[in-house]
Amino acid sequence: MKRNRALALLLPAVIFGASVLALSGKSAHADDPTAEAKAARNARCATRLSVTLLGKSPAATLLASDNPEGNVDTMLASADFRDRFASFVNASFNGGPVTNPVNDPVYYVARYVLEQNKPWKELFLGAYDVRANTANTALDVIPSATGLGYFRTTAWMLRYAGNEEKGIRLSAAYHIINNITSFEVPASVAKPGEDRTEAGRKAAACEGCHYTPWFALDKAAAVLSQKRVAANGTVTFDATTVTPTQLLGKTLQDDKDLVTTLVESDAYKFAQCRLVFKFLYGRPENQCEGPIFDKCVDELSKGSIVPAIAVVAKDPSFCQ
């Protein structure tokens, strides 16, 4: 009787366990993906990585790979990636390319920094001269002690020379801050009769952007040369107008001081890793992606932006 009673007590438990497995649709080996499912997942991952990083369909070998993520470093070392990421950076900072490639110094400096495996901050701080080649079809990036990334290139200075009546380069100051830190402030539209002069910008309605905050545009522009327009329309830049300014907790003497201070801030690392997420995902990071975003920042802090891109692209969440 005791044996039968024990069997009677055990039988419901066995039935219950079997029922749970049946309801879940799982067997002892059901957690192992099938070869077909794994192959499909790898093909999707290969496609996503190739299209995102290289801008083209995956090669047959990558498509058949059992570990597409293992090819990320090879892809990031390719000319296709350098061209794609440099183009993306140029579009992000400029709103798109121009008709003449010699007017796109951002693209050429970004590509050069990637090719030479330079620290990413050299995109903004690098001592480079950027000038048209002999055929006037592209820009050559050449080491020069007087360079400052792309910020002192004639093409960039002309593009963001602005229209302030005294030649104060407010537009250039804003784009320097924006490119390095991703800070954005919408441009205001002048109202009829509104005073847009330096005195007007000091009024209560305007000083909040131009004189009092950390990004004070007039203070940042004070360390930039000023625009001059000759009678025939020729635009030049007068460096004798540069005056020291108190901004970002420092006394800034020139544009290099401004750029250096911005690059040394936490905002620089945050902004450039947000750029990485926009490149890979087409959007800024989500809150739940904080841990992988922090890994991006850690890698970027070491210098090159390529490992920062790699750590995000290799994360399982990218190909999930």
Residue 65 identity (one-letter amino acid): S
The pLDDT, as a whole number, for residue 195 is 66
Q: Is residue 125 part of a domain?
A: yes
Regarding whether 252 and 206 lie in a shared domain, the answer is: yes
Task: Work out how many domains the chain is built from and give that number.
Answer: 4
CA distances from 224 to 93, 144, 152, 206, 227 (A): 19, 19, 10, 20, 9
Residue 133 lies in a domain: yes
Whether residues 86 and 142 fall in one domain:
yes
Is there a single domain that holds both residue 260 and residue 271? Answer: no
- The boundaries of the domain holding residue 131 are 82-159
Q: What's residue 185's pLDDT?
A: 82
- Show which of 218, 244, 264 is a domain's final residue: 264
178 & 259 share domain: yes
Note whether residue 291 is domain-resident: yes
Q: Which of 159, 175, 202 is the last residue of a domain?
A: 159
Q: Are residues 306 and 278 in the same domain?
A: yes
Residue 193's pLDDT is what? 67
**123 and 206 share a domain?**
no
Q: What is the pTM of this model?
A: 0.85
**What is the sign, positive or negative, of the torsion defined by CA atoms of 182, 188, 189, 193?**
negative
Domain shared by 152 and 233, yes or no: no
Identify the segments of the chain with pLDDT beneath 70.
Answer: 1-33, 189-190, 193, 195
pLDDT (0 to 100) of residue 190:
67
Domain membership of residue 98 (yes or no) is yes
What is the reported pLDDT for 27? 42
* Residue 194: predicted pLDDT: 73
pLDDT at 31: 55
- CB-neighbour burial class of residue 217 (10 A; exposed 0-12, middle 13-18, buried 19+): buried
